[in-house]
Amino acid sequence: MLKLGLIGAGRIGKVHCDTVMTRVQDATIVSVADYYEESAKSLAAQYGISHATSNHRDILENSDVDAVIIASSTDTHSQFIIESAQAGKDIFCEKPIDFNLARIDEAIKAVADAGVKFQVAFQRRFDATFLRVKQAIDNGEVGTPHLLHIISRDPAPPPITYIKVSGGLFFDMTIHDFDMARFLLGEVEEVYAMSANLVDPAIGEAGDIDTAIITLKFANGAMGTIDNSRKAVYGYDQRVEVFGDKGSVTNANQYPDTVTLNTGDSVRRGSLPLNFFLERYAAAYQFELEAFVDCVVNDKPVSVGGADGRAPVVIAMACYKSLKEKRPVKLSEIS
């Protein structure tokens, strides 16, 4: 039984806590830390976890803790990674690692120096439908990929308080799509980004965007597009298509049921898509944590490591540079 410490008892921390304590058989959480101690205590009490604290060092200095889940705010990730590595703890960390490449590199080096496991949380890689798309590409079922299209639209914008500290749409939302683009088709060489504020003027006033289209050029010659919106009134819109010289593969939105309503006027689905990431990716959250536990317990390499956490940050930076300078930007321009 792998004993985990959870750092961060906010929204995603609660997701990981519930996943470990209710669905991951070979691990348990023995301590929860959060800057707001009451949040840590409340979450710990909910799942019968005996220890809660406001100081993450209490977890790192606890010899009973084998590994840590870092689910705190992004501005703490790299520092907590470094401290966890130095404490000899294996690490599962939410993305992004940091908004600063030098800090990311420092964290990755600390992990390498300590010889601990380090997995970055990109749960879509563990979703069955995205994995089937990947399989179709790897098996040559679509031939040589030519085009990629990723649609990623949230059902509603996050609070403005979150937007002010999240790093912006490309870091808090599109970063998943950047990772998926690399996962499916390999390294990105160049991006061109366009954006607008079409959902809520307050998002623009907070310094962010709410609607975007990004084009990508891949090292293998393929091209791609990503389109994002902070608000899709019909629910969580998560789709991808890969088109190749032998065919195409597409994954569709997930629904709470498979009902189709047929009448004299129309044929339509009986329900809207699943409403948000908590529902849509519940199984993927389980599978990514099970993969991490397996890597630690059985001394296997992680499938989503530090380099995979760094690359989408570089793409996000290139996109912001593209917005600012209104031109295509090569990733080699980002240092």
The residue ranges of every structural domain in the chain are 2-116, 125-276+312-333
The region that residue 8 occupies, defined by phi over 0 for left and psi between -120 and 50 for alpha, beta otherwise, is: left
Domain 2-116 architecture? 3-Layer(aba) Sandwich (3.40)
Q: How confident is the model at residue 318 (pLDDT cuts 50, 70, 90)?
A: very high
- pLDDT tens-digit profile of 222-236? 999 999 999 999 999
What single-letter amino acid sits at 273? Answer: P
What pLDDT is stored for residue 331 in this prediction? 98
Mean pLDDT of the chain: 96
Q: How confident is the model at residue 154 (pLDDT cuts 50, 70, 90)?
A: very high
Inter-residue contact 233 to 198 (CB < 8 Å): no
For the segment 7-24, the average pLDDT, to the nearest whole number, is 97
Q: How confident is the model at residue 136 (pLDDT cuts 50, 70, 90)?
A: very high
The residues, any chain, with a CB within 8 Å of residue 205's CB and separated by 6 or more, are none
CB-count burial class (<10 Å; 0-12, 13-18, 19+) for 241: middle
Instruction: Please determine whether the domains at 2-116 and 125-276+312-333 fall in the same fold group of CATH.
Output: no
Inter-residue contact 159 to 259 (CB < 8 Å): no
Could you give the 3-state DSSP secondary structure of residue 77?
A: helix
> Cα dist. 175→120, 122, 160, 226, 232 in Å?
12, 9, 19, 11, 18
What pLDDT is stored for residue 278 in this prediction? 80
Q: Does domain 125-276+312-333 have CATH number 3.30.360.10?
A: yes
Q: Say yes or no to pLDDT of 57 above 90.
A: yes
In 3D, which of 85, 78, 65 has the Cα closest to residue 5?
65
What pLDDT is stored for residue 279 in this prediction? 85
Two tokens, residue 159 = 């609070």
What pLDDT is stored for residue 315 in this prediction? 98
Inter-residue contact 195 to 211 (CB < 8 Å): yes
- pLDDT tens-digit profile of 252-289? 999 999 899 999 999 988 888 888 788 889 999 999 99
Q: Say yes or no to pLDDT of 177 above 90.
A: yes
Whether the model pTM is above 0.85: yes
What pLDDT is stored for residue 148 in this prediction? 98
What pLDDT is stored for residue 270 in this prediction? 81
- pLDDT tens-digit profile of 79-118? 999 999 999 999 999 999 999 999 999 999 999 999 999 9
What pLDDT is stored for residue 277 in this prediction? 81
What pLDDT is stored for residue 41 in this prediction? 98
- Determine the Cα–Cα distance for residues 42 and 36; give it in Å rounded to an integer: 10
Q: Say yes or no to pLDDT of 64 above 90.
A: yes
For the segment 131-145, the average pLDDT, to the nearest whole number, is 98
Determine what percent of the chain is predicted with pLDDT higher than 70: 100
Q: Say yes or no to pLDDT of 71 above 90.
A: yes
What pLDDT is stored for residue 249 in this prediction? 98
For the segment 188-216, the average pLDDT, to the nearest whole number, is 97
What pLDDT is stored for residue 335 in this prediction? 80
- Determine the Cα–Cα distance for residues 112 and 116; give it in Å rounded to an integer: 7
CA atoms within 13 A on the CB side of 103: 15
What pLDDT is stored for residue 21 in this prediction? 98
